[in-house]
């Protein structure tokens, strides 16, 4: 899936990923390839992105929004 993470400081991450893990208002979620469409509010957390080659990226977020689109794309807007 294509993951894009943006903040006011610019693009924090863009790339192909196997999963993204985040803390939402409803609890912790893991978004996998071909997840159903979703829009949720993020709580302060470390976003954990796992790339196809096994590399793991950690991106701190003070809050924000996460959207999973129908086209297997995840867009995250963070503080």
So where are the chain's domains? 2-78
Three-state SS at 23: strand
- Residue 72 confidence (pLDDT): 94
Tell me the C-alpha distance between 6 and 14, whole Å: 9
Would the CA dihedral through 26, 32, 35, 37 be positive or negative?
A: positive
2-78, what's its fold?
ATP Synthase; domain 1 (2.60.15)
What is the residue whose two structure tokens read 């003070």? 62
Task: For residue range 35-76, list pLDDT tens digits in order.
Answer: 999 999 999 999 999 999 999 999 999 999 999 999 999 999
pTM attached to this predicted model: 0.93
The DSSP code sequence of 26-63 is TEEEEEETTPPPEEEEEPSEEEEEEETTS-EEEEEESS
How large is the average pLDDT for residues 13-23? 97
- Residue 4 confidence (pLDDT): 98
- Residue 77 confidence (pLDDT): 98
């Amino acid at each position: 899936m294509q993951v894009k993470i943006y903040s006011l400081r610019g693009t924090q991450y863009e790339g192909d990923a196997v999963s993204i893990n985040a803390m939402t208002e409803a609890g912790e979620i893991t978004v996998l390839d071909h997840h159903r469409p979703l829009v949720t509010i993020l709580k302060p957390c470390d976003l954990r992105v796992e790339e196809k080659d096994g590399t793991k990226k950690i991106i701190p977020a003070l809050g924000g929004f996460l959207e999973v689109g129908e086209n297997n794309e995840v867009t995250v807007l963070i503080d």
